[in-house]
Structures are given as structure tokens and as C-alpha cells.
Amino acid sequence: MFKSVLIANRGEIACRIARTAKRLGLRTIAVYSDADARSLHVRLCDEAAPIGPSPAAQSYLSIDRLISAAKSARAECIHPGYGFLSENADFAQACVDAGIAFVGPPVRAIRAMGLKDRAKALMEKAGVPVVPGYHGELQEPKFLKQKAYEIGYPVLIKAVAGGGGKGMRRVERHAEFDSALESAQREAKAAFGDGRVLIEKYVASPRHIELQIFADKQGNAIHLNERDCSLQRRHQKVIEEAPAPGMSKQLRTAMGAAAVAAAKAAGYVGAGTVEFIAEGANGLKTDRFWFMEMNTRLQVEHPVTEAITGLDLVEWQFRIAAGEKLPLSQPQVGLDGHAVEARLYAEDPERGFLPSTGRLIALQFPEAEGLRVDSGVETGDEVTPFYDPMIAKLIVHEKTRAAALDRLADALDRTVVVGPRNNAGFLAALCRAPGFRKGEFDTGFIDRNLNELGAAPRALDRAAAALGAQELLEQELVRLAAARETEPDRPPSPWDEVDAFQLSGARRLEVPVVVEDETLAAQVTYGPHGHTVVIDDNTPAQDAVVVTDQGGAYVVRNGHQTKVTLRDMALDEAGDQDKSGVVRAPMHGRVLSILVEQGARVTRGQRVAIIEAMKMEHTLVAPTDGIVADIAIGQDAQVAEGTKVMRIAQAQKSNE
């Protein structure tokens, strides 16, 4: 076994690897960018080395910096985690050249499976079923468009490199192909440095089912059962579970055999995931699944496999990289109960899942048997715009699927995230969605049910607002009482009194409060037993948690956050109130492209700019018909949430 490991990653996976490495007695070395200097993974490891500026391209994606850090720390091995350089053959080769063990597959296996087109050709030779499509070298747009027409719509455009939904577009009609191809190629080039794509037939009612495989250097290969990752949004996994609902023993055997054949065809060693697409319209069948790709690394969702098998997959990775044989044979692999994982992200489901950044004012998770939380952040940490916005993964293991979904929904309800917006309430709604619970779902389930799942603008939670206002008023009373204690010589004033005395009737007053961006009136009534607060006939919520910070109250109720502040009566109300023609950045990010010029005539809904944030592209559109009056920022500029990008002025009407 190794004595030391440099973890070439960050966040929750770096913390996850460090914990197992420490248990095995390895000295752990973290790396960090400027943005991560005080991050949890840095604090958790025995040592830490800086590797550059905040942008990943200048730090976590810098092979030279990582190898240099590993040499300086005398690390015997490097664990790449997932994402970043985990599937980069050049990085694996650099480790070998430096005499440092790479905790992952051989370079030749990464190269064989790293490009989807070559991987599919290899799978066809190995007898593994492959989705029909074009996987060739020719990339001329007209040729690809013709191939899409021959395959038949709908089709998927997929980047040949990378994964995670980057550079992937579903195209329903021939007329939409050109713009989808351009966008997919641009995103693939930015994410992976390779803009090449392939075209595949889109499978009706698709289920995304993957097999966890392991292989050793002695030529042995097994699978550790399947995971269902069909609940996705924009090709990003949201909830994963094991085993797959509706999976028969016969299909598990067939898919497992195909996955092992894929691993052996690639000369694989270590942990990997063979991903299949299965037609789910009429139930899963042994002749209706096809190979999609192989991820030559550990997956985000590996904890559900650990839960049902009782294994530590990171420990297996270390042992196999050190030359040990697989600990188990195929018949010895267990399958106990059901596990479900939810990815808690800093994003706003009510605003199109836009990434949300900022300080984590509070972060609290429930504790219970059968509940596991993997996180790379704590209260006080920052969610920055530089990396993936994952806050944590919540994993539940129960005897049955229904019990696991119930437990996970309850855990999400009791999770407290204050600061950045998050998807906890959305995830809980997914766990309770009737179709999902019945097993009637596919990869399009979320997109078809966004409104029912709460991913749409909703009315202010006035009961939560009343609770926040009540908390702020109580703090104000405490502050006044403390002020009297610190100023004993100040002449008394009847206006300082906080009791219920009034010459006629109950003492009532109206206090203006700001709830999110809306000003409301809180009716406060003082009585013999204290005061009560009501907002629009809503009394304070009883099933919520309140956290105060810097003069504001954050109320978390059923996974949703409501911010309340007392209105400053001296606030200048002048200002620019008419923003109907202003296009603003909806999140922190980089301006990828300005699509219009000053003076251009635009129509409402027309694409005017593209912002890149958290490795995803977001299109800004004109809010109204008019003329581009001014453009405030340029391409490649870094912008904060709310930054003015441009203004659309209404066109002057002709006098004729």
C-alpha cells in the first residue's frame, strides 16, 4: 500500500478521498487555487500546496503545476477524483513519467475510451450493443446535418470528448440543427479543448443505467451492480439510485456481462463506469439497451453502490493501483436494500436553475442512521463562480425504495442552507413525485414536470416573512434594552418603552419590511404577553428555521429560503425604477459572446448575449422590441449578478 497521496481535486470528492486515505494510513496532500485557500478539503488534509489562480485552467487543470506539487511533497501516488484531469490521458502519462503512481486506469485505456467515437467502434468489435449514429472523423457542418437527416430526428449531438452533458444538444427538427451544432461545438471546445462531435439517434423514453466495474492488473474484471441515473436536467444527473427500478436478474446479468466485456476490450484497470441507454417505454428488456460511453474514473454517484454493496470503492482504487488483486469475485458481490442520492446544488430552480454564489451563512444537515452526507463546504465557506456549484450529496440507504425516498425527502426538508439559493425543495418534490415513485420515468421526466416540481416562480411565502419580521423585531427590542443598560444616565423617554401600554385600545403599528425585493407591511400588535406579527393575515410559520445575519433574517421552510429585512425609512426611493429595457447578467460569470451591435433592431426574445457560468452556457434575450441603445460590457468580461449588459430602447414611432 502507498504511504502518501496527492489529491488532484477539490470540494467534496477531495474530502471523500482524504477520509479513506487517512483510514488506510496515507499521508494526504491537498492542492488549492487562490479561491480555495481556506476550503474544507485543505483543512482536512495533512498538507496543502498552492497551484495557482482561481480559474481552473490556471490551477486544477495545470498538469505541470500538479506534478510539481506532487514532487515537492514526495507523494507516492496521485488520485484525480472526478472532473478536471481525471480522464486526461496526458495527465496520467505525466504521472507515469514522473515516477508517481496514477490512481486510475492505464493511459491506453483512457485514450481508448476517452473519445466517444473511438470507444463505440471498439465496443462494436467487442460485441457490445451500440446506439445507431455517425461516429466518424468528418466534421463538416453540412455533412453532419445530412447524417442527422439520414439517422432520423430527434437526434443527439454529443462531444466526442468529456462528459457531464457539456457539448450535448438534443435536436428535434432539421431546421434547428445548425444553431444546435454551433452551440455544442463551442461548449465542447471550451470545456475539453476539442470541438468534435458525433450524432446519435435519440432513444424514445430513455433510461440512463450504468454499471460500476472494477478490474485489476492480473486481468480480473467484475461489476458491482447497476445505478439508475435517469433523473436528469440538461443532461446533468440530479438523483441517482441503486438498484435500478424494474431491473430483472436476467437484464442485470446481460448488462453486467456487456460492461465487463467493455472493460476487458479496453484493457481496463481500476474503477470505471460503463453507461448504457435503455428503452423504457414498455419496461426494461434484455434486447433494448445500448452502450453510450465509459467513464474512466470514479463517479459522483458512487456512494449508492457503496451503500448496497457495503464496500469502500476508494479503498479498492488504492489497493488495485498498488498492484493488489480484486478483493471479491463476481458471485461474492452483494446487493442489500435500496440507496438513493440527491445532489444539493447552489442554484435557483425558480429562475431556470441559474447558479447562485455567495457565503454560506448557515449549513446544517440532519443526522440519522442510514443517512450519509458528503460535502466539501461548511458554514462560512464561499460558493464561488469558478467551479461546479455542488454543496453536498445526501445519500439514504433503506430496505425498500419507497422507504429510501421517504427518508431522503424528509432529510432534504430538514436541511438548512442559508445564503446562496439551492435546490433542496425541488429535490424533495422529486422524491415525492408520483410518477417517479411508481417507476414511470425517463430522462425527460424533470423537463416535463417542472411546474409540478416547483421549478417556477412562486408567490412570496408570507408566513415565512412574518416569522422573519418577528425575529428581527425581537432582536430590535433586545438591542433597545441593551442600549438603555449601556446608557444609564440618558433621560428616560416614553418612546423607549417596549411594553403594551397605550392610552386607548391595543397598541398597534405597521412596520415596513422588505421580503426578497418586495416591500410589505407587517402589522405588529402589542399585548400583555408580548407582541404578535401578521403579514397580509399570515401569522408566523411554525415549521421553519430562522437565521439572522447582518441585519437580515433568512427563513428556511420546506427547502425554500425567504430573506426579510426591516425597511430603512431613510432609503432614497429615487433611482432607476424602470428596468424593462435593461438586460442584466442573471448570475456571476464570463461574457462568452455579444450577439448584437449597438444600433441594431431586436425583437422580444431574441438572443443578444451568452454568459458562461459554472461550465454551462446561459443565453440572454431581449426583454422587449427596440433598438440596442448601448452595450455596457464586452466579450470575455467577468460580470457579477445584476450587472447591466446592455439596454434596449423602444424604437421611435414614425410620424407618417
Q: Are residues 540 and 598 in the same domain?
A: no
Whether 92 and 147 share a structural domain: no
DSSP per-residue string spanning 332-371: G----SEEEEEEEESEEGGGTTEE--EE-SEEE----TTE
Confidence grade of residue 235 (pLDDT, cut at 50, 70, 90)? confident
What cell was used for 545?
A: 428555521
Q: Which secondary-structure segment (H or E) carries 412?
A: helix 401-413
CATH code of the domain containing 595: 2.40.50.100
**Tens-place pLDDT, residues 502-527:** 555 567 788 889 999 888 999 998 77
Residue 320: partners with Cβ closer than 8 Å, 6 or more residues away: 214, 215, 216, 217, 269, 270, 271, 326
Rounded to an integer, what is the distance from CA 358 to the centroid of its chain?
A: 15
Same domain, 612 and 553: no
pLDDT in tens, 451-462: 999 998 889 999
Same domain, 467 and 556: yes
Q: Is residue 239 part of a domain?
A: no
| Residue 337, C-beta contacts closer than 8 angstroms, at least 6 positions apart | 307, 308, 397, 398, 399, 400, 404
- What region does 530 belong to: left with phi over 0, alpha with psi -120 to 50, or beta? left
Total of domains in the chain? 4
- CATH number for position 167: 3.30.1490.20
Q: What are residue 70's phi and psi, to 5 degrees?
A: -65, -40
Identify whether 416 is part of a domain: no
Residues 6 or more apart from 184 whose CB is under 8 A from it? 157, 158, 159, 167, 168, 169, 197
pLDDT at position 254, please? 96
pLDDT average, residue stretch 602-615: 84
- Dist CA 410 CA 404 (whole Å): 10
Q: Rounded to whole angstroms, how far apart are CA atoms 539 and 528?
A: 18
- DSSP character for 29? E
**Averaged pLDDT for residues 208-219:** 97
Query: Distance between CA 411 and CA 407 in Å, rounded?
Result: 6
Does residue 152 sit in the same domain as residue 69?
A: no
The residue range of the domain holding 635 is 582-649
- Residue 165 included in any domain: yes
Q: Report CA Rg, the chain.
A: 28
Residue 474 shares a structural domain with residue 561: yes
Report the pLDDT value the prediction gives residue 504, as an integer from 0 to 100. 53
At residue 163, does pLDDT exceed 90?
A: no
Question: What is the Cα–Cα distance from 432 to 234, expressed in whole angstroms?
Answer: 21
Q: Is residue 307 part of a domain?
A: no
pLDDT for 656 beyond 80: no
More confident residue, 245 or 624: 245
d(CA 474, CA 498): 10
Distance of alpha carbon 158 from alpha carbon 170, whole angstroms: 9
Please tell me the distance from the alpha carbon of residue 47 to that of residue 31, in angstroms, as a whole number. 9
Q: With the C-alpha atoms ordered 222, 227, 230, 236, is the resulting torsion angle positive or negative?
A: negative
- Catalytic (active-site) positions: 297
**Contact between 83 and 61 (Cβ < 8 Å):** no
Of 201, 225, 246, which one is at a domain's C-terminal end?
Answer: 201
Number of CB atoms found within 10 A of residue 576's CB: 7
One domain, residues 599 and 518: no
pTM exceeds cut of 0.85: no
- Tell me which residue of 159, 164, 120, 84 sits closest to 293, measured CA to CA: 120
Residues 524 and 586 both lie in one domain: no
Report the alpha-carbon distance of residue 408 to residue 303 in Å, rounded.
14
**How sure is the predictor about 224, in pLDDT bands with cuts at 50, 70 and 90?**
very high
Within a domain: residue 387? no
Does a structural domain hold residue 396? no
DSSP assignment of 382-406 equals EE-TTS--EEEEEEEEESSHHHHHH
Instruction: Return d(Cα 461, Cα 556) in angstroms, integer.
Output: 10
For 373-401, what is the mean pLDDT?
Answer: 96
Model pLDDT, residue 482: 74
Residue 576: predicted pLDDT: 38
Does the pLDDT value for residue 311 go beyond 50?
yes
Among residues 201, 216, 244, which one ends one of the domains? 201
pLDDT at site 572 = 38
* Total count of residues recorded for the chain: 656
As a whole number of angstroms, the distance between CA 93 and CA 105 comes to 11
Amino acid at 134: Y
Contact 532, 525 (CB under 8 A): yes
Average pLDDT over the chain reads 90
Whole-number Å distance between alpha carbons of 567 and 519? 8
pLDDT for position 577: 41
Domain of 62, CATH number, reads 3.40.50.20
How many CB atoms are located within 10 Å of the residue 450 CB? 15
All cell numbers assigned to 209: 443505467
Q: Are 433 and 453 in contact (CB under 8 A)?
A: yes
Q: State the pLDDT confidence band at 578, using cuts at 50, 70 and 90.
A: very low
End position of a domain, from candidates 186, 201, 216: 201
In-domain check, residue 603: yes
Q: How far apart, in whole angstroms, are the C-alpha atoms of residue 614 and residue 629?
A: 30
Pair 64, 155 in one domain = no
Query: Which CATH number covers residue 549?
Result: 3.30.700
Specify whether 560 is located in the same domain as 469.
yes
Is 207 inside a domain boundary?
no
Q: Are residues 68 and 163 in the same domain?
A: no
**DSSP code for 58:** G
Residue 222: enclosing H or E segment and its boundaries? Answer: strand 221-233
pLDDT per residue over 251-306, tens digit each? 999 999 999 999 999 999 999 999 999 998 888 999 999 998 899 999 999 999 99
Q: Which of 401-405, 443-447, 474-478 has the lowest mean pLDDT?
A: 474-478
The rounded distance, in Å, linking the Cα atoms of 618 and 628 is 20
- Provide the pLDDT confidence category of residue 492 given band limits of 50, 70 and 90: low
Claim to verify: residue 16 and residue 94 sit in the same structural domain? yes
- Whole-angstrom Cα distance, residue 70 to residue 98? 9
- Which of the two residues, 513 and 484, has the higher pLDDT score? 513
